[in-house]
Structure formats: C-alpha cells, structure tokens
Amino acid sequence: MIVGIMSDSHGDAATTAKAIALLEGRGACAFFHCGDVCDDRVLDLLAGRNAYFVWGNCDHPGAATRRYVRSLGLPWPEVPVRVELAGREIRMFHGHEREFRTALDGESPRYIFHGHTHVYGERRVGAVRIINPGALHRAITKTVALLDLARDELVFLDLHGRAVT
C-alpha cells in the first residue's frame, strides 16, 4: 500500500489539490495531512478519500468545525492520530504537541508522521521511521512524501513530481 503524506497547507487549497493529484498519480491510496490545515477548503479535498489529518498550531477548530468534519465523513483527529494500514502502525502529530516529545516512550509504532517545521526529512530511532513531508506553504521548495508501506520505500517529491534529496 502506498500512502501520500503532506503538511502545512495553511489554507492554500489550490496547492493542496495539486499535491493530492500528484500523490494519487503516483499510486497513493491513503492520505495523511500532518496539520496546519487552516481552511475548510483543504478539508474538502480530503473528503471522500481514505484520509487522515491532525490539527496544527495554526488550526483553531471549534464545535462548528467538528460538525463540518463529521459531515465530510472524516475522522476527528485525536493526538496522536493512530492508524494501522497494511499491518503497519502509523502515528501522526503536527509536531508542536507535548505528546510528540514523548512519542517514542512506551510501545513504539512503525512510523511517525509529522510536520510543523516546513522542512522535509526523515530519521530512524531504533525500528521507528520518523517522516516529515515538508510543507505546502512557506517553503522554498514545496514538498510531499510518498511511502510504500510494503517495501518501506520513501521518496520526497516537489510539486512538479521531481524527487528531492
């Protein structure tokens, strides 16, 4: 199973739509948005897809937002978002949460996705692969990540579809 990972849209629905199209075109069948959604139009793009998201430090959801998310059929994010796909446990944070600092305490998942820094990258801590897809806003190069869960293969892409290193 191939998953697409993005973060930090900051309300830019057009760029987010471009990112989703790129990830879908590369085979992604599940989508993770690591926070700083900042606009219902970004949530609209996730609706109808196998998609998960988390709130970022620039998101301020209230009761009306909860009703809207429910109307879209999206799961309401609780920190951390926990998903199991293809037998792999994924936890997702934005990266500013207190819980993010202790994410490796106790039973660890296979993957941790996060955003917040606007800088793409990955690292391993023991058996856990920690992935930041970069950002779709306020980044010199706007990036997303594509992860093949079966092969544990990760590639970062700019929005033109070019691999970045």
Question: Mean pLDDT, 10 residues at a time, over the chain (165 residues)?
Answer: 98 98 98 98 97 97 95 94 96 90 81 97 94 97 98 97 95
- Determine contact, residues 80/101, Cβ cutoff 8 Å: no
Nearest to 115 by CA among 87, 86, 144: 144
d(CA 38, CA 41): 9
The model's pTM is: 0.96
List beta partners, residue 154: 147
- Determine contact, residues 32/53, Cβ cutoff 8 Å: yes
d(CA 95, CA 54): 10
Can you list the domains of the chain with their CATH numbers? 2-164 (3.60.21.10)
Residue 98 confidence (pLDDT) = 83
Residue 107 confidence (pLDDT) = 76
DSSP state of 153: E
CA 138, 36, 134, 145 torsion: positive or negative? Answer: negative
Q: How many CA atoms lie within 13 A of 92 on its CB side?
A: 27
Residue 97 confidence (pLDDT) = 85
Residue 105 confidence (pLDDT) = 78
